[in-house]
Structure formats: C-alpha cells, structure tokens
Amino acid sequence: MREKRMMLGISLLLLVLTGVSFLFFPAEEPSMSRMLLESQEELLGTLEDTEEELLTKLLFAGEELPCDRETGTFYLPVDMDSKEWEAGAFTSAEKGVKVYLLDNPLEDEKEISVREGKRYRLLAVRDGSCREYAVVFTGLPILSIETNEEIRYEEVYGTMRFLLADAKEDWAFESVMSGHIRGGSSRLNPKKSYKMTLYKENQTGAGELRKNKVSLLGMRKDDEWLLYAVYSEDTKLRDKLSLDIWNESGALGIESNGFYGYHMEYIELFLNGKYWGLYGLMEPVDYKQLDLTKEGEAQPEEFLYKQKDPDVFELKGNHAVQDEAHMEVLNRYLELLNEGDAVFKQEIPKLIDVDSALEVWVYLQAVLGMDNIERNIFYPVRYEDGQYRMYFMPWDMDYSWGNVHDFEALNRSRFSEEIWTMRIAWRLGDRLVELDVEGAREKAASRFKELRQTVYSERYLREHIQSYAHQIIDSGAFWRDEILWYDSQHSEDFEGLADLACERMRFLDTALADPLKYLELKEYQE
C-alpha cells in the first residue's frame, strides 16, 4: 500500500470533520507526513464553501486535464489494462490554490473504478475558501477542443489537446486547429461528426499558420483528422469491425504504395468545456492515403470519386477547374453499367479492376453492408499502362451486420432479423457474377472460402468483437455516452452480435458456393 501511495505522489491523512471521516490525498506535497495531521485539521476546519470558481485548470503529472465545466468534473485517461495506478500528482495551475482528494482511489480496484466511471471528490482550497470538484478515470484517450464559437458548417479555429491513456511520458499533445461539421446523414443527428485540421504557428508567432502533421494512436502522420460520432448504431462497434475486416482483406489486395483502407481508434471528446461522448478518431480517405497523382504533378492526373447517393457522385481533392474531363472516367463507367450484357462483358474489364470489384461484392455480402449499395463507395482511378483503371473501396460501415435504416427511430436505425438470409444487391458485382466476367463466379466463391480462414473465421469475429467491447465498456466510455446521448440507443449484447455474425458466415458457406444461384436470393430493399 505504501508503494502505491508513493506512485500517486500523495499521502493519506485521516480527517475528522463535523463527525464524518474523509480520506485526503494532499496533491502538492507527495512526502507530507502524518505529523501535519493536527495542523491540517485546524486549517480545514476554518474553511468556508464558495461559489467562486477556484479550480479552472487541474494538472496531473504536469499536464492539464479536460473538464466538464457544468459538473466540475475533470477526466484523467489511464491504462485500464494495468492494475497499478499511474504515477503523478494532482495540482492546480492557479497560484495559491491547493488541491485535495476527498476519496481514496487506492482503496478501490482500478479496473472497477474505470469501468464504472466512479467520481472521486476533489477539494480546491484558496485563502480560507473551498469548493468541491471531482475527477473520473477513463481508459480511452481524450481529445479536448476549445474554440471561440460553436463548431458549425463553416471553418472555426481554436486549439486542441490530446491525452494518451496508456502512457504518462510524452502523453499530451496540443495544437492550433480548425474544424467543421462533416458527413451527410450525420448532420441530422444531435451528436455531430467533425473534420479537424491541425496547424502550428511560425516560431515568431506571426504570419500564416503552417500544417501540423502528426501521428495519433499509431495512425498515419497527417494534419487532417475525422471525428466520427458513433451515433446511428447501438453496439458502437459495427463500423470498427467492418473497417478492420476490410483493412485486413480488400485493402491488402490492391498493389499500391498507398493504402486502400483507413483506420479508426476510439477516443472520448470534449467540446468547449463539455463532455461530448464516445467518438472514433479516423484517417480520411484522400489522394495521400491512396497515393494518387494530384493535379499538376508529373504523371497524368488521377482521380478519386465518391458516391454519396444513387445519382450523386463527388470528385474529391483540390482542382483548379472541375470540368467534364475530370468526370470522363466516371461517366464512362456509368455508361457501361447500363449497357447490354454483350457490351458490358466485353468493355467493363478494360476500365475497371474486376478483382477489386469482386472483393467489394463479397465483402458487402459478408458484413451486410446495406448502406453501400448505392452510396458510400469510393472509386479511385489510377493511370496504369497508358490508360485509366478504376478500383473500388467501401466507406462508412455503421449500417452493417443487421443494422438498417429506420427514419422513424430516434437514431434512424433498427436491427433487422430478415436481412441475415438476404443478399446485398450491389449492381456492379451482381452483373460481373451473372455474366461470369473474367471467371467472376469462381473468383468470388474461392475468395470467400479463403477469407473464411482469416477475417471471416469465427475466431477472428469473436476475438475482435470482444476486443472492441473491452475498449468501450471497460473504459467507462460506453456508459457515459449512453447517459449523454440516450436517443442514440446502446446495446451491450456483443455476444449476440458475434453469434449472428458467425451464423451469417455459415449461411454464406453454402450460399456463396454457387454465386450464380446466390443471385436468386431475395435482395434487401428498404
């Protein structure tokens, strides 16, 4: 016990005040002795409560902690997989303010305290006045954003601080930033998704801001980051599961110096002094991620299209002028998609990478990607061997594994039982299989059988679902998010989801053995 006290840098004092016993941890005096107990009692016995804000900045191990100002609750990210409490001391950044812990974390199991989000009372003392605050330990990294105005659709500037959970050396990062609301349907939700761009000032503090490229949580080094709201799905892990499956299958099947996937890690977000819930910190899909040639570079310009709705496509990236030439490859693809069987079968392999399309088709059948049938698909176009070739990549996978649209529900989604024995009718893939373009049927059947040994195996699915559940449940973030965003719906039936996922794979073992016959299955329709 003594070793643990030294780790926290606080000493235990027993204070008898108004007949009630409290546990105190003087944060600024790590070697304070019990010999000061009597004088400490005399000091605290003269304190008066105040409504004045005494503690605006609480530090741990020298780093400022985010605070939900309305409740006066500070949050400290910790390593939830370690039984030992982190080393460091709680101090105030304000001169003359002392901080005491009224509750003793060392008496509790760390794992339980973090999971349950237990609040430990803090007392801030200055000049005979005191005010009570609290600290909560979380197992996830924290991103805290401060801006001068609410983040809306136009760019807003401010600052960000990022705190790691699994380390207390070099565990804080801060930067100038700008942000705006992003996403399509997510804009209708009360809990928004955001795009964040990082900047750094010149050494003189004058002149234009420069891009601040950093790597966060092991992801790519960049200045642009996406904050995914994890709102329209009750388990909060369907998107993560689908994404990681793609990253370990379809993304690896495309030979490129880029990466035809993207990564996401769970964090908790604070916005302008308010706790804002569970989020996913994500890499964007852009020219850099895919290693596409931009306008003005030496090689012929390459393109990145995104399908946002059945008839809505967007050209990504920065272009001096957007004209018909930029859309020529996409328009040719759409023409071929509507051609007769003979022309389609002969011409489509000249334009697209058939294996890439089949990879997406098999993937959508496995994860039940109903929201990717006519939207949420990227179309990267590369210049290869003197001509353009189109590839395919799924995006935004929260409507998967049985989660479907329900625009009357609070979070516009519901769980569908009937979809588990249906097929996902992605038109391009269906036509490739139906016409057996470049041996599509054998390729699709073989590919699914191959992936059943890896990303579609029962072991992979159960282990990854369990891992994600550990992150969001045992960190305490899931419960905090549920309290704040109750309309979002929250379900902790992760084992049930794993059972259904494995059942879907067993269903496809038979169904996808004959891809042509598979096309006879009833397709999911809204």
Residue 343 pLDDT > 70, yes or no? Answer: yes
Taking residues 13-27, what's their average pLDDT?
A: 32
pLDDT at position 13: 32
pLDDT tens for residues 88-108? 889 999 999 999 988 889 889
Residue 178 pLDDT > 50, yes or no? Answer: yes
Is the Cβ–Cβ distance between 391 and 379 less than 8 Å?
yes
What do you get for the CA distance between the two ends of the chain, in Å? 60
Residue 309 pLDDT > 70, yes or no? Answer: yes
Global pTM value = 0.91
- pLDDT band at residue 146, thresholds of 50, 70 and 90? very high
**Phi and psi torsions of 295, nearest 5°:** -60, 135
DSSP state of 252: G
Amino acid at 24: F
| Residues near 55 by beta carbon (within 8 Å), at least 6 away in sequence | 72, 92, 94, 97, 99, 122, 124, 131, 133
Taking residues 407-422, what's their average pLDDT?
A: 91
Amino acid at 488: S
Question: Nearest Cα to 399, choosing from 411, 382, 383?
Answer: 411
More confident call, 408 vs 58: 58
DSSP element (H, E) containing 69: none
407 by DSSP, 3-state: which? coil
pLDDT at position 479: 98
Is the Cβ–Cβ distance between 266 and 472 less than 8 Å?
yes
Residue 205 pLDDT > 70, yes or no? Answer: no
Could you give the CA distance from residue 249 to residue 183 in angstroms, rounded to a whole number? 26
pLDDT tens for residues 108-139? 999 999 999 999 999 999 999 999 999 999 99
pLDDT at position 43: 59
pLDDT at position 40: 53
- pLDDT band at residue 52, thresholds of 50, 70 and 90? very high
pLDDT at position 38: 39
Residue 5 pLDDT > 70, yes or no? Answer: no
pLDDT at position 264: 99
Beta carbons within 10 angstroms of residue 221's beta carbon: 8
Is the Cβ–Cβ distance between 139 and 77 less than 8 Å?
yes
Residue 21 pLDDT > 80, yes or no? Answer: no
- pLDDT band at residue 482, thresholds of 50, 70 and 90? very high
Amino acid at 243: L
Residue 17 pLDDT > 50, yes or no? Answer: no
pLDDT at position 407: 87
* Range in 32-36, 106-110, 178-182 with the lowest mean pLDDT: 32-36
How large a percentage of the chain has pLDDT more than 90? Answer: 81
Tokens 């038979």: give the residue.
510
Beta carbons within 10 angstroms of residue 487's beta carbon: 12
Burial of 315 per CB tally in 10 Å (0-12, 13-18, 19+)? middle
| Residues near 353 by beta carbon (within 8 Å), at least 6 away in sequence | 254, 389, 390, 391, 392
